Amino acid sequence: MVPRREKIFNIPAVIAAIVVLLVAIEAVTQMVSPETYLGVLEHFAFVPGRFTYAFDPGLVSDAFDAADSSESGAGVARFFLGDGSPQWWTPVTYAFLHAGWLHVGVNSLWFVAFGSAVARRFGPPRFLLFCIAAAVAGAALHFLTHMTDLQPVVGASAVVSGAMAAAARFVFQPGAPLGETLGFADRQDEEIYRLPALPLRELFSNRGAATFLGFWFLMNFVVGVVPASVGMAGATIAWEAHIGGFLVGLLAFRWFDPKPPFSVGRGGIA
C-alpha cells in the first residue's frame, strides 16, 4: 500500500481563484497607461464623496478646498467626483483593485491564511456572499467617517478582516487548534471546520480569542496612524473599512454559517 502523500498547502479552490484574480487584475493595471489606470479607478474604486453628492451636493462643495490647496489637488478631487452620480457597484468592485504589489501581496497572504478555514466551513456560495458583505460593510463604515472625501479607496482588506473575524469564531475553542484550521494542514477530518462557533459572550472570555481580537484592533490602529509601519509611507490607510469588514465576520457569522447556531458551554449570543 502506497502511503498518501501529504500536501504542504491545502487551499480551497474558491480561495485560490480569488487570489489569482486579484493578482491578475493588479498585473493588468500595472501594464496599462496611467490614463487608463485613472479611468479604472474612476469607474471601479469607491469614492465616498460621490454618494454624498447625490443627496447633498453642498456637503461636498468644500471638499475641493479641503483635499488640497494646490490646483492639482483640486483637479484630482474634481476628476473623481465626475458627474456626481453614485456608482452603486463600487462598494464591491473596489475590493478587486490594489495600490501596488505589496498591497495585493499582503492581502492575498492573509486571505489564504484565514479565508481558507472560513471557506471550508461556509462552502463556496456562502463564502462569496460573505466576501461581498464584508466589502460592502467596509465601504459603508468608511463612507460614514469620510462622507465628503473624494479620494478613491481600493483593496480587499475589509474582506480579509472579515475572514479573520469569522475564523476567530471557531478556531480557538478546545478541539480546534489554531494551526490546524488555517488551511496549511491536509487533514481528512473535515469536522475540524464544523465545530460549533463560540457564542460572542464566550468569545471575549476565551483567552486566545480575546488576545487575537485585541491584537487585531491594536495593529489596525497602528497601521492606520503610521502607514510606514507596513512599508506604505505617504499612503492613506482606510482602517475604518477594515473595521467594517471585521464586524461583519464577528457579528454576522451566523447568517453565513451553514450549520444552525450552537452554544458551547453556557448559552450566549451566537
pLDDT in 10s for each residue of the chain, 270 residues: 444 454 546 789 999 999 999 999 999 999 999 999 999 999 999 999 888 888 877 776 665 655 555 555 566 777 777 777 788 999 999 999 999 999 999 999 999 999 998 999 999 999 999 999 999 999 999 999 988 888 899 999 999 999 999 999 888 876 654 534 444 444 445 666 777 788 888 888 888 888 888 889 888 887 766 654 455 544 567 888 999 999 999 999 999 998 654 444 443 333
Q: Are 43 and 87 in contact (CB under 8 A)?
A: yes
- Sorted by where each starts, the structural domains of the chain and their CATH numbers stand as 13-256 (1.20.1540.10)
SS (H, E, C) 155-196: CCHHHHHHHHHHHHCCCCCCCCCHHHCCCCCCCCCHHHHCCC
Q: What predicted TM-score, i.e. pTM, was given to this entire model?
A: 0.81
Residue of 223, 23, 250 whose CA lies nearest to 133 = 250
Distance CA 179, CA 96 (A): 28
Task: Name residues whose C-beta falls within 8 Å of residue 57's C-beta, 6 or more positions apart in sequence.
Answer: 84
